[in-house]
């Protein structure tokens, strides 16, 4: 059996065992299985702060990483600091390669991402995708705050997927079935820090120049890369090499 087949078998097994299970149960099992070889991706949006709170109940000092693109809102650093203090976490920060950023901005200017999808993906590739590869080096699994309800690009996300872009490690999405209301209620119940832009109409928060507030009734990710068509709105962190959002378990190869 190839490593890829083994990974899909493992993902299918996790999906069968934990379908519909509470997020905390999934996380407890994940930390029991992977120990320090599982890491949690956080951009400090509301899903991620809920996940960090859950992870801190599931294990002692979970690994959490953060991709600092260099184009983030000031408020993102404020929530990072609040979370760091509250949970005593040593958050792993990853920055883009400075030479790649310098070269991009010299050649195309600071706002090239508005000019075309290719330019936007180039910027995301340098500032997010390449650092993600370094953040996941050596990991056997990672945890994300993806939810099916978030957007049209995420409706068939599974609880556990195989990340075919990153050495066939597992990607766990414990909040996959949560609604936005579930996320907000969880924050209220647990009194955990919330990114201050959420209250200003930003349910999804990325880089400052590429995120705007949404209007009532709009898709929760409508404010991300708002100038692009809906089906283009992924930054590369959750898509495979063909540009498709990663698929899960036994369905992945079908
Ligand atoms: S979200 Fe915008 S600024 Fe951030 S990496 Fe992507 S294109 Fe660049």
Which CATH number fits the domain that encloses residue 133?
3.40.50.620
Q: What distance in Å separates the CA atoms of residue 159 and residue 171, rounded to the nearest whole number?
A: 8
Handedness of CA 167, 152, 193, 24 (dihedral sign): negative
User: For residue 152, is pLDDT > 70?
Assistant: no
Q: Which ligand 1 atom lies nearest to the CA of residue 126?
A: 5
Q: Which ligand 1 atom lies nearest to the CA of residue 206?
A: 1
b/e 98-119 (16+ beta carbons within 10 angstroms → b): eeebeebeeeeeeebbeeeeeb
Active site residue 56: no
Q: What is the pLDDT of residues 27-42, one digit of tens each?
A: 999 999 999 999 999 9
Helices marked H in 43-157: 46-58, 74-87, 98-108, 117-124, 130-135
Number of compact structural domains in the chain: 1
Rounded to 5°, the CA angle 247-252-254 comes to 135
> Considering only CA atoms, which residue is closest to atom 2 of ligand 1?
210
DSSP-derived secondary structure letter, 92: E
Which residues, 6 or more positions from 67, have their beta carbon under 8 angstroms from its beta carbon? 41, 43, 94, 127, 128, 131, 132, 135
Q: What is the pLDDT of residues 95-151, one digit of tens each?
A: 999 999 999 999 999 999 999 999 999 999 999 999 999 999 999 999 999 999 876
Nearest to residue 127, comparing CAs of 68, 53, 169, 214? 68
Least confident among 39-43, 150-154, 163-167: 150-154
pTM of the model: 0.90
- Pair 40, 142: CB distance under 8 Å: yes
* pLDDT score for 49: 98
CA of 225 to the centre of ligand 1 (A): 9
* pLDDT score for 240: 55
Q: Which ligand 1 atom lies nearest to the CA of residue 123?
A: 8
Q: Is the CB of 71 under 6 A from ligand 1?
A: yes
Handedness of CA 84, 198, 177, 165 (dihedral sign): negative
Least confident among 56-70, 77-91, 206-220: 206-220
- Pair 72, 207: CB distance under 8 Å: yes
CA of 18 to the centre of ligand 1 (A): 34
Q: Is the CB of 104 under 6 A from ligand 1?
A: no
Q: Is the CB of 69 under 6 A from ligand 1?
A: yes
CA of 141 to the centre of ligand 1 (A): 25
User: For residue 246, is pLDDT > 80?
Assistant: no
Torsion of CA 124, 127, 133, 138, to 10 degrees: -150
Name the 3-class secondary structure at 66.
strand
CA of 191 to the centre of ligand 1 (A): 31
Q: What distance in Å separates the CA atoms of residue 198 and residue 154, rounded to the nearest whole number?
A: 20
Domain span holding position 102: 3-251
Which residues, 6 or more positions from 80, have their beta carbon under 8 angstroms from its beta carbon? 44, 66, 91
- Pair 206, 43: CB distance under 8 Å: yes
DSSP-derived secondary structure letter, 129: I
């Amino acid at each position: 059996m190839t490593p890829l087949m083994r990974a899909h078998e493992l993902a299918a097994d996790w999906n069968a065992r934990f379908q519909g299970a509470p997020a905390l149960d999934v996380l407890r099992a994940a930390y029991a299985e992977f120990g320090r070889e599982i890491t949690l991706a956080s951009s400090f949006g509301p899903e991620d702060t809920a996940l960090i709170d859950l992870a801190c109940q599931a294990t002692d000092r979970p690994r959490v990483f953060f991709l600092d693109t260099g184009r983030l809102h000031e408020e993102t650093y404020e929530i990072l600091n609040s979370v760091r203090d509250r949970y005593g976490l040593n958050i792993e920060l990853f920055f883009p390669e400075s030479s790649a950023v310098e070269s991009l901005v010299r050649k195309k200017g600071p706002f090239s991402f508005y000019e075309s999808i290719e330019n936007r993906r180039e910027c995301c590739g340098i500032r997010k995708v390449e650092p993600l590869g370094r953040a996941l080096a050596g990991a056997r699994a990672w945890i994300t705050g993806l939810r099916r309800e978030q957007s049209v690009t995420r409706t068939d996300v599974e609880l556990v997927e195989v990340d075919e872009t990153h050495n066939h490690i597992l990607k766990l999405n414990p909040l996959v079935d949560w609604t936005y209301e579930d996320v907000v209620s969880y924050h209220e119940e647990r009194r955990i820090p919330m990114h201050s832009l959420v209250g200003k109409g930003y349910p999804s928060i990325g880089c400052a120049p590429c995120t705007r507030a949404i209007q009532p009734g709009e898709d929760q990710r409508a404010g991300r890369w708002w100038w692009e068509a809906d089906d283009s709105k992924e930054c590369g962190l959750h898509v495979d090499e063909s540009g498709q959002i990663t698929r899960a378990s036994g369905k992945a190869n079908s």
